[in-house]
């Protein structure tokens, strides 16, 4: 399952990050979105193009394209 | 002299710390990417001079945007001391940058900020233990209240060992003959002077290295930081309401319109009136009376009355309104709402080829376009950065405010509020339209990743709001007594001097009239065929505040009310009919960025885009003003037809210039076809 499809407010564990753009991939990882990290989708924007997620005790926005490339499992 | 760099993640309070230590008033805000260039100030602590440098925020040494690149270059290039400011509420992420600096053997100290909030939530940091475990001196501070002392900046050598690093270095060394420093730099995102295969080989280690760094940090944090209450920093209970798109949109529109009403039509004019009366009665009138007592030279008296006081007074009366505008913008910035607006409006803006971060730049543009064009460097992608830098001038800045208020209150009376709101809206619509066009043509942007950290919603610090208002008000006063005054004097001399260098009170004999008269044909189709109007617009390119002061000098008035009355008289040099007033408002809203803004656009992009910005803005302003003026004077259908004809003429000119660009046109096969 990818992060985009995860239920709202459900705790998920990151399994892998398959984002093609290396710059974005490394940035997300450096912010703490690494394998084993617990991530929660807090809110989806109106058109569902942007997600508000929380990980590493902070809150970040992420785009649909990138969210679909973050593989997760429910915790 | 000691030089100390303040580094850290975005929005941890670096500029606040810089302001507290240097007693400065640099721009701060509750949003990441507020500081986009380095700022420095020398302070004297116990007779020792120290230069403090505030750097833009960065999450890691592997830079993601241009402002992070700026910070990284300064951090790595300069031989100086460093202080890393970290946020107590997100220690692990903040310490990641520290770990990278440790890998590069950079000596630094750690200041822990925002501890009150962390402690209130039942958590605790043992700074002594953290210092021991990290091998770096850590101190808990309050960036808002800290006072400078030598003890604070006491030099201490770091003493650490990073067990995870050696395996990566050894593996890379086995494969390639590279120096250790070069390898560590590459592991931190600096691949300069490396071959492609070397770069790819090292890059493959990065995901595991990042994990190892976090594992190392987890071990340190588990022994020195006691987290009892696991909360998400940045997320408030009220976010459930705030993040609702409909509530956010309505809330924003109501706040914006109420803000405009209060600033421009209720509190602002009252304060401006009081301010102008005080200045006139207690400063300008006594000086003029004194001058009249000393001399009866008409030239000299008129020079002071009109060139020195007239031009200054018409602008200076708007200082209270500008202060209120900046107070309003600071309220929005400090609250933490901007990140939320960026999230909510990202979908909408991405349709036009922008992203949510543009919301911050647009709000910043309401204050000053130059600042917002410079702030475009926090955009993650080049085309997006160029687009926001060149389109920001469509947002009406504070300098255009006097023009709008002055003209609207004369010609629209009860509806002046709606006219000013309409002008702001028109600027926004043109910006979105142009962004859409650019996105489909020369500045195509893939949907750029919106990666914004949510700051917590904070209570407003009234002191800070007042400070920002005061700072910007004083900045405007400085501009008035430097640029406006000096340009005003030049304009006055040009309007009162003949070609034979004689003094004249008849403006039609003046040098300025002669020059402006040569250009009036261009503006005649817009209803702006007065030499005074053309001169004002021309001078306004230097700074938009000069439009009103030039009009005042041309009409020989020395107060805002006198200028307003003179605009209705057909005998005045600058006068408007209703249609030409509307045309003028639209044209002055859109026609050209000011000189300082153009310089920033050139610096942030390239000269092509600077000229593109000038030409595109002039064309759009001309077309819209033309359409409105022709529609109002000759009917809607005539307006549309004539607009179409003008568009064709512009198109023909563009084609012609394209031909001129290729002088070998007649022989070149490409052009022949």
The pairing of strands A11-17 and A70-74 is antiparallel
Q: Grade residue B657 by pLDDT with cuts at 50, 70 and 90.
A: low
Q: How far apart are the CA of A58 and the nearest CA of chain B, in angstroms?
A: 5
Q: In this model, does residue B230 exceed pLDDT 50?
A: yes
B203 touches chain A (CB under 8 A): yes
B239-248, B450-459, B602-611, B641-650: segment of lowest average pLDDT: B641-650
Best of B196, B450, B452 to disrupt the A interface (most A CBs within 10 Å) is: B450
Contact B449 A66 (CB under 8 A): yes
Q: In this model, does residue B94 exceed pLDDT 70?
A: yes
Select from B60, B90, B453 the Cβ nearest to the Cβ of A30: B60
pLDDT, residue B113, reads 94
The C-alpha atoms of residue B222 and residue B268 are separated, in whole angstroms, by: 54
Contact B449 A62 (CB under 8 A): yes
Contact B347 A49 (CB under 8 A): yes
The C-alpha atoms of residue B661 and residue B670 are separated, in whole angstroms, by: 13
A31 touches chain B (CB under 8 A): yes
Contact A27 B350 (CB under 8 A): no
Q: How far apart are the CA of B238 and the nearest CA of chain A, in angstroms?
A: 13
In chain A, which residue's Cα lies nearest the Cα of B217? A32
Query: Which residues is B41 bridged to in the sheet?
Result: B52
The C-alpha atoms of residue B66 and residue B77 are separated, in whole angstroms, by: 16
Chain B residues close to A66, C-beta within 8 Å: 449
Do residues B348 and B435 lie in contact, with contact meaning Cβ atoms separated by under 8 Å? Answer: no
Select from B64, B344, B453 the Cβ nearest to the Cβ of A45: B344
Select from B62, B343, B453 the Cβ nearest to the Cβ of A58: B453
Torsions phi, psi of A34, nearest 5? -115, 170
pLDDT, residue B673, reads 40
In angstroms, the Cα distances linking B259 to A4, B193, B266, B321 are 38, 53, 10, 11
pLDDT, residue B518, reads 85
Select from A24, A28, A34 the Cβ nearest to the Cβ of B211: A34
Q: Grade residue B446 by pLDDT with cuts at 50, 70 and 90.
A: confident
- How many CB atoms are closer than 10 A to CB B652? 10
- The SS3 call for residue B606 is coil
A71 touches chain B (CB under 8 A): no
Contact B235 A28 (CB under 8 A): no
Pick from B17, B231, B282: nearest CA to B122: B231
ipTM score of the complex? 0.95
Do residues B92 and A57 lie in contact, with contact meaning Cβ atoms separated by under 8 Å? Answer: yes
A44 touches chain B (CB under 8 A): no
Do residues B546 and B487 lie in contact, with contact meaning Cβ atoms separated by under 8 Å? Answer: yes
Q: Grade residue B662 by pLDDT with cuts at 50, 70 and 90.
A: very low
B447 touches chain A (CB under 8 A): yes
B59 touches chain A (CB under 8 A): yes
Do residues B621 and B393 lie in contact, with contact meaning Cβ atoms separated by under 8 Å? Answer: no
Q: Is B379 exposed, middle or buried (0-12, 13-18, 19+ CB in 10 A)?
A: buried
Select from B60, B231, B449 the Cβ nearest to the Cβ of A24: B449
Q: Tokens standing for B12?
A: 């941890």
Per-residue pLDDT reduced to its tens digit, B13-48: 999 999 999 988 888 887 777 777 888 999 998 888
Q: In this model, does residue B450 exceed pLDDT 60?
A: yes
The C-alpha atoms of residue B544 and residue B550 are separated, in whole angstroms, by: 10
In our burial notation (b when 16+ CB lie closer than 10 A, e otherwise), range B71-86 reads bbebbeeeeebbbbbb
Contact A63 B342 (CB under 8 A): no
Pick from B112, B329, B320: nearest CA to B221: B112
The C-alpha atoms of residue A26 and residue B209 are separated, in whole angstroms, by: 11
Do residues B247 and B122 lie in contact, with contact meaning Cβ atoms separated by under 8 Å? Answer: no
Per-residue pLDDT reduced to its tens digit, B106-158: 989 999 999 998 888 888 999 999 999 999 999 999 999 898 888 888 888 88
B2 touches chain A (CB under 8 A): no
The C-alpha atoms of residue A3 and residue A72 are separated, in whole angstroms, by: 6
- Average pLDDT value for residue range B599-616: 90
pLDDT, residue B669, reads 47
pLDDT, residue B84, reads 95
In our burial notation (b when 16+ CB lie closer than 10 A, e otherwise), range B381-404 reads bebbbbbbbbbbbbbbbbbbbbbb
- The SS3 call for residue B545 is coil
Per-residue pLDDT reduced to its tens digit, B402-442: 899 889 989 998 889 999 999 999 999 999 999 998 988 88
User: Which residues have C-beta within 8 Å of that of residue B388, sequence separation ≥ 6?
Assistant: B354, B358, B361, B372, B373, B376, B379
Q: Grade residue B220 by pLDDT with cuts at 50, 70 and 90.
A: very high
Pick from B273, B303, B375, B367: nearest CA to B329: B367
Per-residue pLDDT reduced to its tens digit, B384-405: 889 999 999 999 998 898 899 8
A5 touches chain B (CB under 8 A): no
Q: In this model, does residue B665 exceed pLDDT 60?
A: no
B245 touches chain A (CB under 8 A): yes
Do residues B440 and B351 lie in contact, with contact meaning Cβ atoms separated by under 8 Å? Answer: no
The pairing of strands B124-125 and B225-226 is antiparallel
pLDDT, residue B660, reads 52
Q: How would you list the strands of the sheet with B138-140, edge to edge?
A: B39-45, B48-54, B2-8, B81-87, B109-113, B138-140
- How many CB atoms are closer than 10 A to CB B147? 9
Torsions phi, psi of B454, nearest 5? -80, 120
B69 touches chain A (CB under 8 A): no
Select from B62, B239, B350 the Cβ nearest to the Cβ of A49: B350
The C-alpha atoms of residue B217 and residue B219 are separated, in whole angstroms, by: 5
Q: Tokens standing for B306?
A: 């009109």
Q: Tokens standing for B226?
A: 């006691």
Q: Is the pTM of this model over 0.80?
A: yes
The pairing of strands B2-8 and B81-87 is parallel
pLDDT, residue B649, reads 76
């Amino acid at each position: 399952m990818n992060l985009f499809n995860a239920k709202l407010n459900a705790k998920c564990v990151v399994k892998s990050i398959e984002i093609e753009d290396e710059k974005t991939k490394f940035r997300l990882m450096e912010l703490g979105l690494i394998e084993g990290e617990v991530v929660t989708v807090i809110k989806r924007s109106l058109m569902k193009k942007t997600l508000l997620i929380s990980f590493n005790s902070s809150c970040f926005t992420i785009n649909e394209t990138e969210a679909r490339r973050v593989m997760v499992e429910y915790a | 002299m000691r030089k100390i760099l303040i580094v850290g993640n975005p929005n941890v309070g670096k500029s606040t710390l810089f302001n507290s230590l240097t007693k400065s008033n640099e721009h701060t805000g509750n949003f990441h990417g507020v500081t986009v260039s380095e700022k420095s100030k020398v302070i004297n602590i116990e007779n020792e001079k120290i230069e403090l440098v505030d750097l833009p925020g960065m999450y890691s040494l592997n830079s993601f945007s241009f402002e992070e690149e700026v910070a990284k270059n300064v951090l790595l290039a300069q031989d100086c001391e460093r202080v890393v400011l970290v946020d107590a509420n997100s220690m692990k992420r903040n310490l990641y940058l520290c770990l990278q600096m440790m890998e590069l053997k950079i000596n630094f100290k750690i200041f822990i900020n925002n501890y009150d909030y962390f402690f209130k939530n039942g958590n605790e940091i043992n700074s002594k233990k953290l210092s021991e475990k990290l091998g770096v001196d850590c101190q808990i501070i309050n960036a808002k209240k800290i006072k400078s002392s030598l003890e604070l900046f006491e030099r201490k050598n770091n003493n650490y060992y990073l067990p995870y690093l050696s395996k990566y270095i050894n593996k890379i060394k086995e494969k390639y003959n590279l120096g250790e420093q070069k390898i560590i730099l590459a592991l931190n995102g600096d691949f300069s002077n490396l071959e492609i295969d070397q770069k790819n080989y090292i890059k493959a280690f990065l995901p595991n290295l990042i994990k190892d760094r976090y594992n190392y940090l987890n071990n340190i944090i588990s022994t020195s930081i006691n987290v009892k209450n696991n909360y998400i920093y940045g997320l408030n209970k009220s976010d459930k309401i705030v993040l609702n798109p409909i509530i956010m949109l309505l809330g924003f529109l109501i706040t914006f319109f109420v803000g405009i009403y209060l600033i421009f039509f209720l509190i602002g004019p009252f304060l401006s009136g009081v301010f102008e009366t005080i200045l006139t009665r207690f400063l300008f009138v006594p000086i003029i009376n004194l001058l009249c007592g000393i001399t009866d030279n008409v030239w000299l008296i008129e020079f002071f009355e009109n060139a020195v006081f007239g031009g200054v007074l018409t602008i200076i009366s708007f200082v209270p309104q500008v202060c209120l505008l900046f107070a309003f913008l600071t309220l929005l910035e400090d609250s933490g709402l901007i990140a939320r607006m960026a999230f909510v409006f990202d979908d909408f803006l991405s349709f036009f080829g922008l992203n949510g971060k543009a919301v911050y730049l647009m709000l910043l543009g309401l204050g000053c376009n130059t600042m917002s064009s410079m702030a475009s460097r926090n955009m993650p992608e080049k085309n997006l950065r160029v687009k926001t830098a060149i389109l920001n001038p469509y947002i009406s800045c504070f300098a255009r405010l006097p023009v709008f208020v002055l003209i609207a209150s004369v010609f629209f009376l009860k509806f002046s509020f709606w006219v000013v709101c309409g002008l702001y809206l028109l600027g926004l619509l043109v910006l979105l339209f142009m962004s859409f066009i650019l996105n489909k043509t020369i500045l195509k942007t893939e949907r750029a990743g919106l990666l914004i950290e949510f700051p917590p919603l904070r209570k407003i610090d009234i002191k800070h709001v007042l400070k920002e208002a005061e700072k910007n008000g004083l900045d405007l006063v400085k501009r008035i007594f430097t640029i406006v005054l000096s340009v005003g004097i030049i304009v006055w001399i040009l309007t009162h001097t003949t070609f034979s260098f004689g003094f004249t009170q008849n403006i039609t004999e003046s040098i300025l009239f002669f020059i402006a008269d040569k250009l009036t044909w261009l503006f005649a189709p817009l209803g702006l065929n007065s030499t005074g109007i053309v001169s004002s617009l021309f001078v306004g390119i230097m700074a938009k505040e000069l439009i009103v002061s030039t009009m005042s000098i041309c009409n020989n008035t020395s107060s805002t009310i006198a200028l307003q009355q003179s605009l209705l008289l057909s005998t005045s040099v600058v006068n408007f009919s209703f249609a030409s007033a509307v045309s003028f408002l639209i044209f002055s809203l859109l026609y050209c960025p000011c000189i300082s803004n153009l310089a920033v656009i050139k610096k942030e992009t390239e000269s092509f885009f600077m000229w593109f910005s000038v030409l595109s803005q002039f064309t759009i302003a001309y077309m819209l003003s033309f359409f409105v003026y022709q529609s109002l004077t000759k009917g809607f259908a005539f307006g549309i037809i004539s607009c179409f004809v003008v568009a064709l003429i512009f198109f023909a000119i563009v084609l012609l210039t394209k031909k001129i660009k290729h002088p070998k046109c007649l022989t070149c096969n490409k052009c022949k076809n």
